[in-house]
């Protein structure tokens, strides 16, 4: 793959990561102490319709105050 492709993909993925983290942190702050000790199922769906791509990532995010 070309350098241009790699750079554009990395830029997009960095934007996804940074903005997603900010959104999750804001939601946790707004929810307040009720998030302590709880785990939350999370899902991200990446789609590129023109390439017929749908990629799903699932995981768990632990609430504030958990290790």
State both tokens at 67. Answer: 């290790």
* All residues at 6 or more sequence positions from 39 whose CB lies less than 8 Å from its CB, including other chains: 60, 61, 62, 63, 66
In a domain, 34, yes or no: yes
pLDDT digits (tens, 9 = 90+) for 9-45: 999 999 999 999 999 999 999 998 889 889 999 999 9
Asked whether the predicted pLDDT for residue 66 surpasses 60, the reply is no
In a domain, 40, yes or no: yes
In a domain, 37, yes or no: yes
- How many domains does the chain contain in total? 1
CA nearest to 25, candidates 13, 42, 8: 42
3-state secondary structure of 11: helix
Range of the domain at 21: 3-62
**Ramachandran assignment for 33, one of left (phi > 0), alpha (psi -120 to 50 degrees), beta (any other):** alpha
Residue 12: count other Cβ atoms within 10 Å of its Cβ: 11
In a domain, 67, yes or no: no
């Amino acid at each position: 793959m070309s350098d241009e492709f790699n750079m554009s993909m990395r830029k997009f993925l960095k934007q996804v990561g940074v903005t997603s983290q900010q959104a999750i942190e804001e939601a946790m702050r707004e929810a307040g102490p009720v998030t302590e000790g709880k785990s939350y199922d999370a899902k991200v769906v990446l789609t590129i319709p023109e390439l017929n791509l749908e990629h799903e990532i699932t995981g768990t995010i632990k609430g504030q105050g958990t290790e």
